[in-house]
Amino acid sequence: MRNLRLQFEDECYPVRIGVRCSDEILSNLLELDASSYHLITDRTVSQLHAGALCEQLSTQAIASLWVVDNGESFKSLETVEHLAKEMVQAGIDRASVIVAVGGGVIGNLAGLTAALLFRGIRLVHVPTTLIAAADSIASLKQAVNLTVGKNLLGCFHKPTSVLIDLNFLRTLPVTQIRSGMYEIIKNALIVAVENIPLLERGLKPDANYTDSELMAIVEAGLLAKQKVMKADKCERKEAIVFEYGHTVGHAIELAAEGRVPHGEAVGLGMIVAAEVASRLGRLSEADRSLHHRLLKRNGLTVQLPPGVTISAVMALLRTDNKRGYVGARPDQVAMILLDGLGVPAGPVVRPLVLVDGSLIQSCIEDCLTGIKDIAIEENRQ
């Protein structure tokens, strides 16, 4: 397995990446010498990967499999409480290890559960989606949603290690591979511009990447985040730039109630962010067009998902988790914008720009619906 080490100020942890390396994952877990192992997964991954891993682990250690329902709607404090209660009744203790086997939702559920049980026990990520392997595991943040907003309840908790078998990604549907690639595109636009030519040549609409290409994609994603996060472990200063596209993207994702992959929602959010920056005179037409070109080449349909209304998106923007970083009027939203490729707008220490809600709404209407008066009609009904 290839070894990386991610540094977050005074915190660090290893990331090991391989192909068809389940035996090595098992060995790495057993080296932790845990009193018991608790694998958290969802129904789909339980059948594909987690069940077999737990069965292997059970031959040499005490191991339990905890299965939650699929989907963003179950990323809640209620699920965390249920998991914690069941684990305590099953004998989990301070020497145990929680293993997250799944995508970003499972990673957050397991991470927050590990952070809260006994005020913090060991956590290992075994990501099974591209977005988790190449992006979300490179963080100390653990959080769940409220019905009024994404990632509003959480804390910081460092994983002990991350173990990645790229073969697990082979069971993903095309939409999930694309979802991960949107985050890679985002990283290139904001901090890793050297990867843009590679993306222009290498993005595949069918998302059919080789093992070596997936290895390069995962490493590129993790190293791009490392550039900034090594000096900002809580992602409250310079590293907040990785929220690019997430302001509108999170609102779309939550309004869609789990029907839209996270990365796709972020892709739509980047389209809106580029349009906002362009209208404010910050982003050139060439750079705005590059957003569209890369995102469409990754398969993005530049349109609000069915059933998602502009009024719902605008309401959710008011609860964005970046509120309070800068003083804002009720009709303003703090956004990550670009002055150019790799050039975040606003203060270097915290690159946020206050944008009038009316401008954001206009950009959503024009970019994602083409119907400027839709919100007016919704208000009349």
Catalytic annotation present for 158: no
**Residue 204, CB-side half-sphere exposure with 13 Å CA sphere:** 10
Residue type, 318: R
Task: Tell me how far CA of residue 109 lies from CA of 80, 133, 213, 346, in angstroms.
Answer: 6, 16, 29, 33
Catalytic annotation present for 213: no
Query: b/e for 115-133, b at 16 or more Cβ within 10 A?
Result: bbbeeebbbbbbbbbbbbb
Rounded Cα distance, 92 and 118, in Å: 10
Residue in 243, 253, 264, 365 annotated catalytic: 243
Residue in 24, 141, 257, 296 annotated catalytic: 141
Query: b/e for 162-185, b at 16 or more Cβ within 10 A?
Result: bbbbbbbbeebeeebbbbbbbbbb
Q: Beta strands of the chain (E only): which ranges? A: 2-8, 11-18, 37-42, 63-68, 97-102, 122-127, 141-146, 149-156, 161-165, 332-335, 338-340, 343-344, 353-356
Rounded Cα distance, 190 and 127, in Å: 24
Q: Is residue 107 within 8 Å of 140, Cβ to Cβ? A: no
CA neighbor of 80 nearest in space, from 44, 117, 49: 117
Burial of residue 21, with CB atoms counted within 10 A of its CB: 0-12 exposed, 13-18 middle, 19 or more buried? buried
What is the Cα 52 distance to its own chain's centre?
Answer: 26
Cβ neighbours of residue 318 under 8 Å, at least 6 residues apart? 330, 333
Rounded Cα distance, 72 and 74, in Å: 5
Q: Is residue 150 within 8 Å of 202, Cβ to Cβ? A: no
Residue type, 366: D
| Residue keyed to tokens 């910081």 | 156
Catalytic residues: 141, 243
